[in-house]
Amino acid sequence: MKATEIRNKLINKNLKVTPQRVAILNAIAKLKNHPTAENIIDFIKKNHPNVATATVYKVLDVLVANELIKKVKTEKDVMRYDAIIENHHHLYCSESDRIEDYVDDELNKMIEKYFSKKKIKDFQINDIKLQIIGKFNK
Amino acid sequence: MKATEIRNKLINKNLKVTPQRVAILNAIAKLKNHPTAENIIDFIKKNHPNVATATVYKVLDVLVANELIKKVKTEKDVMRYDAIIENHHHLYCSESDRIEDYVDDELNKMIEKYFSKKKIKDFQINDIKLQIIGKFNK
DNA sequence: TTATTAAAAGAGAATGATTATCTTTATAAA
DNA sequence: TTTATAAAGATAATCATTCTCTTTTAATAA
């Protein structure tokens, strides 16, 4: 992801462009497998040794609040972050910590169609995410 | 849930039947809305004031490991527990902490059928859970 | 370009959920 | 009833995350 692209993302959300925010957005884009805050902190500190841990958490919160990244729910007790904002699902490995994105428009359409007919009592749906649990072959 | 029913669940898993385990399984069954460990601890301590906090965590781990209950993660960073083990999905409220189970066999069949035809590359599916995010009307 | 100001970052302590450790107790089987 | 072993109790430790307070910086306008 280009620096200007990242800058524009921040500007579009009326967020101040700071080196820390740019570095963190960059880190999340580079780090695969939905990094934890710790992964991001480690990565950042390689090139920016004097970035405070609390800053990373604060920036992550801001980015989530502004929908530039997402928090991912897992069974484990640490939060993980996802660079991709477009609608997608997750593949979870039951044997490792690996998480991958899964994009499937046909599936989305099928589910959307299903719930356009079948309403859930007393509940309005905004979004549906699939947690697909299984095993990677490689 | 009857005491003998709970006892049998434990015995079937080759787990020792202890008053603490019975009480905790009972608590999770009684407490609605997917209690946190703290909710369970509070509930337990009303009737069993001398149960240690660590014991509750240990028992919860054992129950999860033996698939008598499930761990659920939310946007917040505390784990929550679910008494129901049969296949179901979750309704998350985007405005509150409310979580409800959603059981829908027709949906399960549709998804199963879909993925029996459409394979995910390099991935074997074991289970699929839907996170249905939205708002409760009441 | 510089001054201004609100927002952001830095630093490190505090918090709080969860885990670990070690001792005591209780369950299940002989 | 005894015994072996797993579980519970008690409390300290851990560690991810948040808080507080101070300093710095980005964005705006003179």
pLDDT in tens, A57-91: 999 999 999 999 998 877 777 789 998 778 899 99
Q: Which H or E run contains A136?
A: strand A123-136
For residue B7, what are its two tokens? 């006892």
pLDDT digits (tens, 9 = 90+) for B44-77: 998 898 899 999 999 999 999 999 999 887 777 7
Read off the pTM.
0.85
Rounded mean pLDDT, B88-106: 91
| Minimum-distance residue to D17 (CA–C1') | A57
Contact A127 B107 (CB under 8 A): no
The answer to whether residue A37 scores a pLDDT higher than 80 is yes
At residue B97, the pLDDT reads: 82
Task: Match 């066999």 to its residue by tokens.
Answer: B105
Cross-chain residue pair B102–A125, CB shorter than 8 Å: no
For residue A106, CA distances in Å to A113, A115, A125, B126 come to 11, 14, 19, 21
- How far apart (Å, rounded) are the C-alpha atoms in residues B6 and B27? 11
A94 has a chain B CB within 8 A of its CB? yes
Strand D nucleotides within a 7 Å radius of protein CB atoms: 6-12, 16-20, 25-27
| Residue with the larger pLDDT of the pair B38 and A77 | B38
* Residue keyed to tokens 């169609």: A113
d(CA A87, CA A104): 9
- Locate the chain A residue with the closest alpha carbon to B72: A75
Name A99's bridge partners: A92
Token readout for B21 is: 């385990």
pLDDT of residue B117: 95
User: Token match 């009857």: residue?
Assistant: B2
Contact (CB, 8 A) for B28 and B81: yes
Q: Which nucleotide is nearest to A11 (CA to C1')?
A: D27
Structure tokens at B42: 């509070």
**Looking at residue B105, what is its pLDDT?**
95
Q: Does the beta-carbon distance from B120 to A91 stay under 8 Å?
A: yes
β-strands B89-93, B123-136 pairing = parallel
Q: Say how far apart CA B44 and CA B84 lie, in whole Å.
A: 19
Q: How many angstroms away from the CA of A117 is the closest CA of chain B?
A: 12
**How far apart, in whole angstroms, are the C-alpha atoms of residue B69 and residue B79?**
12
Q: Name the residues contacting strand D (CB < 7 Å).
A: A 11, 16-19, 36-38, 53-54, 57, 61, 78-79; B 15-16, 18, 20-21, 48, 50-55, 58-59, 62, 77
Asked whether the beta carbons of A56 and A73 are under 8 A apart, the reply is no
Retrieve residue A112's tokens.
């959307």
Quote the pLDDT of residue B72.
87
Answer yes or no: do B73 and A74 touch at CB < 8 A: yes
B59 contacts B105 by C-beta, under 8 angstroms = no
**A contact residues 22-61, partner B, Cβ 8 Å cutoff:** none
The pLDDT of residue A107: 97
Cβ atoms of B43 and B66 within 8 Å: the answer is: no
The type of residue at A1 is M
Q: What are the structure tokens assigned to B128, written together?
A: 């699929």
CB neighbour list of residue B75: distance below 8 Å, 6 or more residues apart: A71, A73
Q: How far is the CA of B54 from the C1' of D2 (A)?
A: 30
DSSP annotation string for B40-105 = HHHHHHHH-TT--HHHHHHHHHHHHHTTSSEEEE-SSSSEEEES--SS-EEEEESSSS-EEEE--H
| Whether the Cβ atoms of residue B130 and residue A128 lie closer than 8 Å to each other | yes
- For residues B83 and B100, the answer to whether their CB atoms sit within 8 Å is no
Q: How far is the CA of A22 from the C1' of C1 (A)?
A: 26
